[in-house]
């Protein structure tokens, strides 16, 4: 269990939190699965049904979510920033183990 300043810490990815505006991500061309992996029909037919597209992703939140003054919900990037922000003298390594 992770803890910081007497509060439980839950590290949840920004894509799973889904609380920020969407941003355009990369342009992706889906990989055609092989027949052995279960593709039905020809490669050409599969490509027609699965055209290239733009991926939409949630942006990294700038704030931390606090639930009931007991739980912090942060992203992995925020967890790393928090880990590097706390001086070593106050936090043994790993600093937030209970």
Domain boundaries in the chain?
1-20+61-92, 22-58
Looking at the chain, list the stretches that DSSP marks H as alpha helix, in order from N- to C-terminal side: 14-17, 43-49, 76-85
d(CA 76, CA 70): 19
Polymer length of the chain: 98
Report pLDDT digits (tens) over 57-92: 999 888 888 888 888 899 999 888 887 777 655 555
Whether residue 93 has pLDDT greater than 70 = no
Query: What is the pLDDT, as a whole number, of residue 94?
Result: 53
Half-sphere exposure of 78 (CA within 13 A, CB side): 18
What is the phi/psi pair of residue 16, to 5°? -85, -30
What is this structure's pTM? 0.63
Whether residue 1 has pLDDT greater than 70 = no
Largest distance between two CA atoms of the chain: 63
Q: Which two tokens stand for residue 79?
A: 């967890």
């Amino acid at each position: 269990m992770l803890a910081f300043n007497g509060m439980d810490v839950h590290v949840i990815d920004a894509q799973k939190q889904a609380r920020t505006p969407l941003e355009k991500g990369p342009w992706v061309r889906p990989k055609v699965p092989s027949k052995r992996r279960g593709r039905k029909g020809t490669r050409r037919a599969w490509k027609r049904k699965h055209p290239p597209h733009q991926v939409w992703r949630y942006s990294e939140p700038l704030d931390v979510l606090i639930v009931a003054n007991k739980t912090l919900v942060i992203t992995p990037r925020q967890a790393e920033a928090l880990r590097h922000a706390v001086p070593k003298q106050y936090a043994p390594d790993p600093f937030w183990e209970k």
